């Protein structure tokens, strides 16, 4: 499947943190024909294995997205929600949303709210229900809700909610599809609950006990008007090799391996430092006696808004680079 089609297929699935059943099922369907072994652990992480005689290599991308959870259904049929992960109410306001069960609605700020300092508690969700009883036929307290904004392409860019981190899940599926040799014992892990605190990756890394790990996620850019320079990379300038984020300082050996692999492929890359925000790499590199951990990041604008934007060629190159890395001969540790 082409990368864009994969992103669209994955984005049609439901999978906010803690409620990843829908996205996991979709990923499992797509990965099963490409796997030697496939399993789900207690947390809900999907672990896809390709057998090889070399060291254990773990590629990891979180499958969960940010989202909302219904906390109250009011007498007049409006809903109140809590956040799953890093949601900014200002960015969420007036965005269409959908529930796994099919209900749809929109997030609306109360009229008296100060938009500049908008809190999520000052927003309600309008699903059009005429009263509480009608609303409860469509949704229940504890149901999760996600953005329902469109996915489109223009100028080689893709705009969609949840490129964080469905674009990386699509990249890992491309690696599985395109690799021809498997000299290493490869585990491709789609983790859960990253957005609420890197919770799934920790037990997954403990179980796999990898020699080498690479985390694939989106990263912040420094290429838009008035950029606050949280990130160091630009869209369209190639895969970003992670140097550090607020959760990890990558192992120098991994940075060297990924950069030299890119050089062999004659592929431009950028060095990625994200000054705020962490990734699954944060909990993986301190697992057991420590894991050599690196990261390949997809430069992405407007992260965690309903209109994230990435460059499709960057994403294709990320897949190509990872494919070369997992097929390279790695020394046993
Ligand atoms: Zn992410």
Is 75 annotated in the active site? no
Q: What is the pLDDT of residue 258?
A: 98
CA angle 17, 22, 24 (to 5 degrees): 80
In angstroms, what is the span from residue 268 Cα to ligand 1's centroid? 23
Positive or negative: CA dihedral 127, 129, 135, 138: negative
217 is in an annotated binding site: yes
- Cα separation, 180 vs 177, in Å, equals 8
Positive or negative: CA dihedral 96, 148, 303, 63: positive
- Cα separation, 258 vs 240, in Å, equals 10
Residue whose structure tokens are 């060297």: 256
In angstroms, what is the span from residue 218 Cα to ligand 1's centroid? 6
Q: Which two tokens stand for residue 76?
A: 């007049």
In angstroms, what is the span from residue 317 Cα to ligand 1's centroid? 19
What domains can be seen in the chain, in order of their start residue? 3-65+161-326 (3.40.630.10), 73-147 (2.40.30.40)
pLDDT averaged over 10-residue windows placed end to end, the chain, 333 residues:
95 97 98 98 98 98 98 98 96 97 97 95 98 98 97 97 98 98 97 97 97 98 92 97 97 98 98 95 97 98 97 98 97 92
Spell out the long-range contacts of 20-26 with Cβ–Cβ below 8 A and sequence spacing 24 or more: 20/44, 20/63, 20/64, 20/192, 20/193, 22/100, 23/63, 23/64, 23/65, 23/166, 23/169, 24/63, 24/190, 24/192
62 is in an annotated binding site: yes
Catalytic option among 133, 180, 194, 331:
194
Ligand 1 (single-atom ion) residues, CB below 5 Å: 164-165, 217
Q: How many residues does the chain have?
A: 333
In angstroms, what is the span from residue 49 Cα to ligand 1's centroid? 22
In angstroms, what is the span from residue 62 Cα to ligand 1's centroid? 7
Give me the DSSP letters along 93-143: TT-EEEETTS-EEEEEE-TTS-GGG--GGGEEEE---SSHHHHHHH--TT-
- Whether the Cβ atoms of residue 211 and residue 57 lie closer than 8 Å to each other: yes
- Cα separation, 67 vs 195, in Å, equals 9
Instruction: Classify residue 226 as left (phi > 0), alpha (psi -120 to 50) or beta.
Output: left
Beta bridge partners of 154: 157
- Whether the Cβ atoms of residue 288 and residue 262 lie closer than 8 Å to each other: no
> What pLDDT digit, counting tens, does each position of 198-226 carry?
999 999 999 999 999 999 999 999 999 99
223 is in an annotated binding site: no
Q: What is the pLDDT of residue 228?
A: 86
- Cα separation, 45 vs 48, in Å, equals 10
In angstroms, what is the span from residue 280 Cα to ligand 1's centroid? 8
Give me the DSSP letters along 29-90: HHHGGG-SEEEE-TT--EEEEE--SS-EEEEEEE--B-EEEEEEE-TTS-EEEEEESS--HH
- Whether the Cβ atoms of residue 58 and residue 187 lie closer than 8 Å to each other: yes
195 is in an annotated binding site: yes
- Whether the Cβ atoms of residue 165 and residue 298 lie closer than 8 Å to each other: no
Contacts for 160 with CB less than 8 Å, ≥ 6 apart: 7, 8, 11, 149, 150, 151, 152, 166, 307, 308
Residue 160, φ and ψ in degrees, nearest 5: -170, 155
In angstroms, what is the span from residue 81 Cα to ligand 1's centroid? 21
């Amino acid at each position: 499947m082409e990368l864009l089609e994969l992103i669209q297929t994955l984005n049609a699935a439901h999978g906010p943190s803690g409620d990843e059943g829908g996205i996991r099922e979709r990923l499992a369907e797509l990965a099963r024909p490409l796997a030697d072994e496939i399993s789900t652990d207690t947390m809900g992480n999907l672990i896809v294995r390709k057998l090889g005689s070399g060291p254990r290599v773990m590629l990891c991308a979180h499958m969960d997205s940010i989202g909302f959870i219904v906390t109250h259904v009011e007498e007049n049929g409006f809903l109140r929600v809590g956040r799953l992960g890093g949601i900014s109410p200002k960015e969420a306001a007036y965005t269409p949303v959908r529930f796994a069960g099919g209900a749809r609605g929109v997030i609306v700020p109360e009229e008296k709210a100060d938009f500049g300092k908008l809190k999520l508690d000052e927003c309600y969700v309008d699903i059009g229900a005429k009263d509480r009883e009608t609303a409860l036929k469509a949704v229940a307290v504890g149901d999760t809700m996600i953005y329902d904004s469109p996915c489109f392409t223009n100028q080689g860019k893709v705009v969609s909610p949840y490129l964080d981190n469905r674009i990386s899940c699509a990249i890992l599926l491309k690696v599985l599809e395109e690799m021809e040799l498997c000299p290493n014992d490869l585990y491709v892990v789609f983790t859960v609950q990253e957005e609420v605190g890197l919770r799934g990756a920790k037990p997954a890394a403990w179980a796999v006990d990898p020699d080498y790990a690479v985390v694939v996620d989106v990263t912040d850019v420094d290429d838009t008007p008035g950029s606050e320079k949280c990130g160091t990379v630009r869209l369209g300038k190639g895969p970003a090799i992670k140097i550090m984020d607020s959760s990890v300082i990558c192992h120098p050996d991994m940075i060297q391996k990924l950069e030299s692999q890119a050089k062999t492929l004659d592929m431009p890359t950028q060095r990625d430092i994200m000054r705020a925000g962490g990734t699954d790499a944060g909990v993986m590199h301190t697992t057991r006696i420590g894991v050599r951990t690196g990261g390949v990041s997809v430069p992405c604008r407007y992260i965690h808004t309903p209109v994230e934007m990435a460059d499709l060629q960057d994403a294709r190159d990320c897949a190509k680079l990872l494919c070369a890395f997992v097929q390279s001969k790695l020394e046993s540790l």
